Amino acid sequence: MAKQPGAGNSLLKYLAVRFTLIFPTVLILITMVFIVMRSIGDPITAALGGKLSNEELEIRIEAAGYNRPILVQYFEYLGQIFRGDFGSTLTTNKPITDLLGTYGMATLELAVYAILVALVVGIPLGMLAAKRRDTATDAGLRLFAILAYATPVFFVGLLLKLIFAVTFPILPVNGRASVNTELAITLMDNPTGIYLIDAIRLGEAEFIFDVISHAILPGLALGLLTAGIFLRLVRTNMIGTLNTEFIEAGRSRGVRESRLVTSHAFRPALIPIITVIGMQIAVLLSGAVLTETTFEWKGLGFQLAQYLNARDYVAVQGIVALLAVIVALTNFLVDVLVALVDPRVKF
Amino acid sequence: MRNFLWRIPPFKQLKMSFGVQRLMLAVGLVIVSIFVLMAALAPLIAPYGFAQLQYENGEYFGAQEPPNPNHLLGTTVGGFDVLSRVIWGTQTALMVIIVAVIMSIFIGVILGLISGYLGGWVDRVLVLVADAVYAFPSLLLAIALSIVISGGRSGLFTGILAAALSITVIFIPQYFRAVRAETLRIKQEAYVESARVLGAGNLRIMFRHIFRNATRTLPLIFTLNASEAILTLAGLGFLGFGIDPTMGAEWGYDLNRSVSDVSAGIWWTSIFPGLAIVLVVLGNTLVGESLNDLADPRLRARQSVEVAGDE
């Protein structure tokens, strides 16, 4: 995210301005989602039309207040969101914020695995490509990066399943854990919802192994997408940094090329990565919807797809609004982090 | 598809590139040309229609048939011919790209020009909206829009329009940002100042003096966006919000139907539509990346410094 000009000359002032920006951003997104989702009529008819008689529909529409002027509904909705109430699903009548506790953790877990894969694969390969610039290695790595971007996550997922779960059945096909493990985690005290942590807390090697083996394929599928982006980014930045004067100075002092890459150019080339991780949150969330659907990984994205198919647009609106808030908050945190790390950002 | 050549003819780039970069650009151009040709000639090359279930004699193809002489790539769980749907799918993909990119360029460029040129509160509000949309998971916006436009699954043209419009909304901020940034820079140039001194109006300055120069980078965004358009379309199809299979062939939908096939070891229903997506996006991205690298002096391969990049 580019910083607004005139953001002030102190870190504190910048942070304050950046923080206030969260509100209009969330407001814009929530308004858009509201307009889009309401332009198809009231959600009750959409979800239950045809299943209930017209009289029953009328009663439920009136009870939920969907017959009132749209502006009244809009401001009421904003008020609700402001109080942290994202509504309840129509079909299962669960508060949306509860979904965050149950399924959000699953999505968070998947996203963390994916980012780990992306960092471990993307950064070293990007540095290698920059160092071996314009050689066959570089070309191969760039092709890999483009392929990682060009292949839809769900197709990567299907391929991985086909290879590692069907042709060579060494990993499970679907889900977050096998039935036994899931049962043990549900029955434990205060499960975090992050299965790996829960399995470690249970302390049984079998559970830990089970959870990890379920996470490998989805984590890879989602992680490779981002790994390609990281690889390209690190390569481009590293090449740019390797051309700068301070690297030239190091080179003329006789510092070895490999040391220039791993030590001197590493930090400046890495700062954009933090910014991009922030922007990747949006990509990861889109990808999570697809990855979770492919692997029946029961997270927010999987749940969203279920509600979409059930035409429960109250749930859809709630989940999307909640994600808007999460995205805005994450972007704020990333900007703060960049401001703290990047020496070029002066206050 | 070819209309973007008018500004940056890739053949010029092909000449100024060399080595790996030239190879990447050439391979990309070949793939894109095959893709466009396939889309144009789909009725001639495809062995069957995309929604065809029976032979001429009324006999059904059969579902999940492995590749055989009658169906080179097998048949799907719904009993369609995989090869035919892969070929017809190029048409759908191409149409979505064209519609989406034209709409987003049109809207994004105008908004970017206005915002960058006028500045003030108009600029601030537009930047805020564009940033909000840009940061949001694009697929979710696309889903929401496609529900509104077509109520979920739909016919060929509403389906294409729904997919294209959803993609447009996501892309507008990108064109907007690029054009606005350029406009901000160009606005300070001496020749704009001279035009103003000569008494040129705002509209004339915007569209005559700034427009041409602010839109130079667009072909690069264009090729990258074409890739994203295909991926978004496929993602929508995969989630069941694409185009009805009887109305048009769409690769994402076919992949959606193949998820359960995969667990049963049936590979031909997913591999081929998936490869089609990968190849088209790959071709596009290769062209876009190469053009981008050639335009950026930092990334241009070293030996080609004697070729002037500026116009």
Percent above pLDDT 70 for chain B? 84
Q: Does B39 touch chain A (CB under 8 A)?
A: no
Query: Any bridge partners for residue A52, and if so which?
Result: A49
The values of phi and psi at residue B294, to 5°, are -70, -30
Q: Does A306 touch chain B (CB under 8 A)?
A: no
pLDDT tens column, A70-128: 888 888 888 888 888 887 887 778 888 888 878 888 898 898 899 899 989 988 998 88
ipTM over 0.90? The verdict is no
Q: Is the pLDDT of residue B142 over 70?
A: yes
Q: What is the helix, strand, coil percentage profile of chain B, to 5?
A: 70, 0, 25
Rounded to the nearest angstrom, the minimum Cα separation between B145 and chain A is: 7
Identify the sign of the CA torsion A107, A110, A112, A117. negative
Q: Is the pLDDT of residue B130 over 80?
A: yes
A-chain residues within 8 Å CB-CB of B278? 147, 150-152, 155
Query: What per-residue confidence (pLDDT) applies to B210?
Result: 79
Domains and CATH numbers, chain B: 18-310 (1.10.3720.10)
Contacts with A, B 179-238, CB within 8 Å: 227, 231, 234-235, 238
Identity of the residue numbered B188: Q
Rounded to the nearest angstrom, the minimum Cα separation between A100 and chain B is: 17
A-chain residues within 8 Å CB-CB of B132? 24-25, 28-29, 328
SS3 category, B96:
helix
B-chain residues within 8 Å CB-CB of A161? 262-263
How far is it, in rounded angstroms, from Cα A274 to Cα A280?
Answer: 10
Query: What per-residue confidence (pLDDT) applies to B1?
Result: 47
Residue position matching structure tokens 């990808």: A287
Tell me, what DSSP letter sits at residue B304?
G
Mean pLDDT per 10-residue segment, chain A (347 residues) = 50 82 86 82 74 78 78 86 81 82 87 90 89 84 87 90 86 84 81 83 85 91 88 84 80 80 74 72 82 89 85 84 84 80 58
Identify the sign of the CA torsion A231, A233, A238, A243. positive
pLDDT tens column, B230-241: 888 888 888 887
Mean pLDDT of B17-42: 84
pTM comes to 0.82
At residue B300 the predicted structure's pLDDT band, cuts being 50, 70 and 90, is low
Domains and CATH numbers, chain A: 21-85 (no CATH), 97-341 (1.10.3720.10)
pLDDT tens column, B274-297: 999 999 999 988 888 777 777 666
Whether residue A158 and residue B137 make contact (CB cut-off 8 A), yes or no, is: no
**Which tokens belong to A177?**
């854990």
pLDDT tens column, A294-308: 898 988 888 888 888
Question: Which residues fall within 8 angstroms of residue B131, CB to CB, at 6 or more apart?
Answer: A1, A25, B173
**Which tokens belong to A68?**
């009132």
